[in-house]
């Protein structure tokens, strides 16, 4: 019919319009031929956001580890890269890894240096083939951190890899991991910017991963942020906080916002207090002089150190965990929406009062010859933070961290208020608590009051327990560095610290840190292997925390 013919004409016309919009055609004068020109390019960021996932399968990837000969690189960075490779998250047809440091080494010498850190002895045979292939992907370039010569040689090596993969500039990806002290960040970033960045503004990218500590106070952190910010956009900078890659830390958003029964309880009407605790059962060992420059607040509560010698127990940035516990529900899971809510929490924290701080220093700390005899540097701190918003007004957030304690653990402890009308007369046994054990023995459990089995009506505290090793026996939980490096490659900044977030955290603690340095807040001696100063327990009691007596959670056996 005429109507059907008309419909066909409309469809054909739309098809022609679509072809016309995708191609700009110009008639070559005198040649009598059509010449097809590429349409104008898209801007890099919008291209990546819309099409990045689709094109990532066919682009070369260069991962550059700066400080490749150091402890952090060989004990954390390279093992994480190998595990990603072994699990096929790094495509051997695309990826190449470059080490850069001042130490003069050959490619083979670097491979031998890191080999023993990549696999355990028990897994050596089954991973031997993968290990051999992975090591062949590593190339080493030596040079200073403040000279163009070395970085130009590095750029040449990267470019040769990209050419060998037949990659155009539009599809090359360069990831620079700075396994270096923060003091060299500015000159290294300057050299990367001038000599080694991706040359295209379409499709490809250059990203920078920087390790903490990021400054010693607000002023130094802002200065460092400003120096790097002049060279790279915020979307290119990944401030890695490895604890945000831990499985149970990443579980926080799911727990809070995917479970209905938590939603009405997670507020000041039901929660009495929140504790975020980190304990180490050893002291500063052979790094006392280095630790003395920072103290426990910078080392654990606000920051974690780039350690010359990695500790057997990871440091915990308690402020990042606090944000996940206290933040409001983001409008989506997009990284910027999540980070916006975290910043709001930090900006709502009121100034810390001296009477809500207890500092300690374990006996024997000053015996270290690298520590000054009159050092006031705390090795223990209990600090109460108060968040001035509708959800958390009146609820103390207790941050507790210490070295040379009686046990080692890291957990989040949400203590609920007393049940009104205690008809069973059981309040003295303890309150309900929801505990997230971050390490060791990852677990979540809820402390409940239940009837003790038997003929009599007696109550006892027990728990509902989700222990990861028991529940997920066949699941390999990835290391934090693996997850975060993969996030960096994907361009997901959700688990990385944004500049305004870093600034807000330093604004909270810098005044207290300066008062400590002036000697206005003193550290109280405590015995190694204890709970810390008794004044800390008194502060917790004053804040409203009720300790449970006669109950202890025991990790279940397999």
Number of Cα atoms under 13 Å in the Cβ half of residue 463: 18
Active-site choice (304, 337, 495, 549):
304
> Which helix or strand (DSSP H or E) is residue 96 part of?
strand 95-101
Report the alpha-carbon distance of residue 330 to residue 338 in Å, rounded.
Answer: 6
Which segments of 73-202 does DSSP mark as H helices, in order? 78-86, 107-118, 128-135, 148-164, 185-191
Report the alpha-carbon distance of residue 342 to residue 336 in Å, rounded.
Answer: 10
Are 209 and 67 in contact by the 8 Å Cβ rule? The answer is no
Number of Cα atoms under 13 Å in the Cβ half of residue 168: 6
For the range 159-162, what are the long-range contacts, defined as Cβ-Cβ under 8 Å and sequence gap of 24 or more? 161/60, 161/62, 161/96, 162/60, 162/62
Please say if 304 is a catalytic residue.
yes
> Which helix or strand (DSSP H or E) is residue 497 part of?
strand 496-497
- Spatial neighbors of 434 by CB under 8 A, at least 6 apart, are 413, 414, 416, 444, 445, 446, 447
Q: Where are the beta strands (DSSP E) in 228-379?
A: 237-240, 271-279, 357-362
- Bridge partners (DSSP) listed for residue 466: 444
Sheet order of strands, 357-362 included: 459-467, 443-451, 433-439, 409-416, 271-279, 396-402, 380-386, 357-362, 523-526
In this structure, the strands spanning 61-66 and 173-178 are parallel
Report the alpha-carbon distance of residue 356 to residue 528 in Å, rounded.
Answer: 23
Report the alpha-carbon distance of residue 219 to residue 457 in Å, rounded.
Answer: 61
Longest pairwise C-alpha distance within the chain: 105
Are 493 and 339 in contact by the 8 Å Cβ rule? The answer is yes
Helix orientation angle between 499-517 and 218-229, rounded to the nearest 10 degrees: 150
DSSP string, 487-542: HHHHT--TTEE-HHHHHHHHHHHHHHHHHHHTTSSPEEEE-TTBSS-HHHHHHHHH
DSSP 8-state symbol, 208: E
Question: Sign (positive/negative) of CA torsion 161, 165, 168, 170?
Answer: negative
Cα dist. 493→39, 43, 91, 496 in Å? 31, 20, 22, 5
Report the alpha-carbon distance of residue 98 to residue 183 in Å, rounded.
Answer: 22
Which residues are marked as active site?
A: 304
């Amino acid at each position: 019919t005429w109507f059907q013919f008309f419909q066909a004409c409309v469809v054909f016309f739309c098809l022609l319009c679509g072809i016309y919009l995708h191609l700009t055609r110009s008639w070559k004068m005198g040649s009598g031929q059509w010449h097809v020109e590429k349409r104008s390019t898209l801007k890099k960021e919008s291209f990546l956001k819309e099409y990045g996932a689709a094109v990532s399968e066919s682009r070369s990837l260069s991962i550059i580890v700066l400080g490749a000969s150091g402890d952090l690189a060989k004990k954390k960075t390279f093992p994480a890269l190998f595990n990603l490779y072994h699990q096929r998250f790094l495509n051997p047809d695309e990826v190449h890894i470059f080490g850069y440091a001042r130490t003069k080494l050959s490619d083979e010498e670097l491979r031998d240096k890191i080999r023993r850190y990549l696999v355990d002895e028990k897994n050596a045979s089954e991973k031997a083939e993968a290990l051999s292939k992975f090591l062949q992907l590593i190339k080493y370039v030596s040079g200073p951190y403040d000279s163009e010569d070395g970085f130009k040689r590095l750029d040449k090596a990267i470019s040769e890899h990209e050419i060998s993969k037949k990659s155009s500039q539009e599809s090359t990806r360069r990831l620079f991991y700075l396994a270096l002290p923060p003091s060299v960040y500015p000159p290294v970033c300057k050299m990367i910017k001038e000599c080694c960045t991706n040359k295209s503004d379409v499709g490809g990218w250059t990203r920078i991963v920087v390790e903490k500590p990021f400054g010693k106070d607000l002023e130094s952190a802002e200065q460092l942020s400003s120096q790097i910010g002049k060279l790279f956009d915020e979307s290119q900078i990944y401030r890695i906080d490895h604890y945000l890659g831990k499985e149970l830390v990443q579980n926080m958003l799911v727990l809070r916002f995917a479970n209905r029964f938590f939603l009405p309880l997670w507020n000041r009407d039901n929660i009495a207090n929140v504790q975020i605790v980190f304990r180490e059962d050893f002291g500063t060992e052979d790094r006392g002089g280095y630790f003395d420059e920072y103290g426990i607040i910078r080392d654990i509560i606000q920051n974690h150190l780039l350690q010359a010698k990695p500790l057997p127990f990871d440091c915990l940035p308690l402020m990042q965990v606090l944000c996940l516990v206290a933040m409001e529900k983001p409008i989506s899971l997009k990284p910027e929406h999540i980070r916006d809510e975290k910043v709001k929490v930090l900006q709502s924290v009121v100034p810390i009062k001296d009477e809500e701080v207890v500092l300690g220093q374990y006996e024997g700390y000053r015996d270290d010859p690298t520590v000054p005899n009159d050092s006031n540097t705390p090795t223990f701190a209990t600090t109460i933070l108060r968040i001035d918003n509708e959800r958390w007004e009146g609820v103390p957030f207790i941050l507790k961290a210490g070295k040379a304690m009686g046990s080692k653990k890291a957990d989040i402890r949400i203590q609920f208020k007393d049940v009104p009308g205690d008809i069973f007369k059981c309040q003295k046994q303890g309150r309900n608590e929801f505990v997230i054990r971050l390490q060791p023995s990852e677990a979540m459990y809820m402390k409940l009051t239940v009837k003790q089995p038997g003929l009599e009506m007696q109550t006892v505290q027990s728990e509902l327990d989700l222990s990861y090793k028991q529940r997920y026996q066949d699941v390999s939980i990835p290391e934090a560095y693996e997850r975060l490096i993969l996030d960096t490659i994907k361009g997901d900044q959700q688990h990385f610290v944004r500049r305004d977030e870093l600034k807000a955290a330093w604004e909270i603690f810098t005044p207290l840190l300066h008062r400590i340095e002036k000697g206005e807040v003193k550290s109280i001696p405590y015995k190694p292997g204890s709970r810390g100063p008794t004044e800390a327990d008194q502060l917790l009691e004053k804040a409203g925390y009720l300790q449970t007596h006669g109950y202890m959670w025991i990790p279940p056996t397999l």
